[in-house]
Amino acid sequence: MALTDENLVDVPGMASRWVRLANGARAHYMTAGTSGPAVILLHGGLPGSSGLAGWRFMAPYLGDNGFRVYCPDMPGFGLSDTREEYWPDGMESFVDFIDQFATALCLDEFHLAGNSMGCMNTVNYTVAHPDKVKSFILIAGDIGDVVPEHLTPPAGEFRLTAYDGTREGMRTMMEAIIHRGEAISEDLIDMRYLSARDRMDAHAKFWPTLLQYRRITDWTNENRAARLVTKGRLDRLSTPGLYLYGRQDILTPVEWGYVQEDYLPNVQFFYPDECGHQGQTDRPDLFNPVFLEFFRDGTVSGELADAAGVSDRRPELPLINRSLVSA
């Protein structure tokens, strides 16, 4: 299928939009739904990532079920502003972007979710602005220094995401993060390749700070580091939260989810099967209704929770409602 005139995959139920931020940046986002509570969905951090690439199976579903969904292209990704003054300086700059984006769209309160780098951005934004986040969902990422630095992720196949700038390299990278091969379409590869080609320098500028995200003590700029501290903040939040971590994740294996679960007592964990690093793409049959029930009801029904691999490593939180029948 051919791309649109903006070099986007054409997804029914999603529309391409632009907004001018307070700092002068021209921000691109995809949207779905016309009424109801607002949801912001944050994409991952590999080259070519975007709101559309990350959420094309989720956003139309939520839009059809009573939500207004916004999938922004973060600085350095998607169709983001390519002018150098709007490149990301580091992970903390994404917090500022999200806040300016929400303000520009007059979103005072919203549900928030993110995958991979988007998981980190969801964490960082939520601890910085807990008054604006109604609830959050994390997918296969990192949660900062709330996990002690001496605990490190198990060895995965992160080398497979070393992007060489070619179209075939993009395919290889997609195969590393998406378990369901049929979801890797030719138009998706084309869209991601073209976006990455025009933003390689912007991506390279922030990438080292993503790799250093958990090692706050290595940072020389204490003011920047302070903005990314999660210890004593994320673990104390009363904001309702879920975390889904695929059992077939080959980048950061599922054992890393078990470690994170031990440090987030107020977040309900799930470990869905047949699911890699980009779980919302691999298992929309599970992720879509989990998101819908949680954002709509504040809980997940017992039957759906079981299907989605609700954690048995500790007692379930009240976020699982076994008196409800799934949607």
DSSP 243-310: EE--TT-SSS-THHHHHHHTT-TTEEEE--SS--SSHHHH-HHHHHHHHHHHHHHSSEEHHHHHHTTB
Contact of 302 with 250, CB cutoff 8 Å: no
Backbone phi, psi, residue 56, to 5°: -65, -20
pLDDT band at 156 (very low <50, low <70, confident <90, very high): confident
pLDDT higher than 60, residue 326? no
Q: Which among 89, 109, 92 is positioned nearest to 38, based on CA atoms?
A: 109
Predicted confidence (pLDDT) per residue in 3-44, tens digit: 999 999 999 999 999 999 999 999 999 999 999 999 999 999
pLDDT band at 223 (very low <50, low <70, confident <90, very high): confident
Q: Which amino acid is at 82?
A: T
pLDDT higher than 90, residue 161? no
Q: Return the pLDDT at 216.
A: 64
190 part of a folded domain: yes
Instruction: Name the region of 203 (left: φ>0; alpha: ψ -120 to 50; beta: rest).
Output: alpha
Predicted confidence (pLDDT) per residue in 125-154, tens digit: 999 999 999 999 999 999 999 999 889 888
The whole-number average pLDDT for the span 112-117 is 98
**In this structure, are strands 15-20 and 26-32 parallel, antiparallel, or unpaired?**
antiparallel
Q: How buried is residue 211: exposed, middle or buried, by Cβ count under 10 Å (0-12/13-18/19+)?
A: exposed
Mean pLDDT of the chain: 94
Distance from C-alpha of 139 to C-alpha of 105, rounded to nearest angstrom: 25
213 part of a folded domain: yes
Q: Return the pLDDT at 179.
A: 96
Q: Return the pLDDT at 155.
A: 85
Predicted confidence (pLDDT) per residue in 68-105, tens digit: 999 999 999 999 999 999 999 888 999 999 999 999 99
pLDDT higher than 90, residue 112? yes
Q: Return the pLDDT at 327.
A: 53
Contact of 40 with 70, CB cutoff 8 Å: yes
pLDDT band at 108 (very low <50, low <70, confident <90, very high): very high
Distance from C-alpha of 305 to C-alpha of 250, rounded to nearest angstrom: 23
Q: Which among 178, 161, 113 is positioned nearest to 139, based on CA atoms?
A: 113
The whole-number average pLDDT for the span 262-287 is 98
Question: Does an H or E element contain 220, and which?
Answer: none
Sequence-ordered alpha helix ranges (H) in the chain: 51-55, 59-64, 91-104, 117-128, 167-177, 186-197, 200-211, 222-227, 255-261, 279-282, 284-297, 302-307
Backbone phi, psi, residue 84, to 5°: -60, -30
Distance from C-alpha of 60 to C-alpha of 200, rounded to nearest angstrom: 29
Tokens representing residue 213 in the block:
């995200």
Domain count of the chain? 1
The whole-number average pLDDT for the span 162-176 is 95
Contact of 308 with 326, CB cutoff 8 Å: no
Q: Return the pLDDT at 32.
A: 98
Instruction: Name the region of 116 (left: φ>0; alpha: ψ -120 to 50; beta: rest).
Output: left
326 part of a folded domain: no
Helix (H, G, I), strand (E, B) or coil at 112: strand
pLDDT higher than 80, residue 307? yes
Q: Return the pLDDT at 324.
A: 67
pLDDT band at 218 (very low <50, low <70, confident <90, very high): low
Q: What percent of the chain has pLDDT over 90?
A: 85
327 part of a folded domain: no
- Domain range enclosing 27: 3-321
Q: How many other C-beta atoms can be found within 10 angstroms of the C-beta atom of residue 275?
A: 28
Q: In this structure, what CATH number is given to the domain that contains residue 10? A: 3.40.50.1820
pLDDT higher than 90, residue 253? yes
Q: Which among 138, 23, 115 is positioned nearest to 75, based on CA atoms?
A: 23
Q: Return the pLDDT at 171.
A: 96
270 part of a folded domain: yes
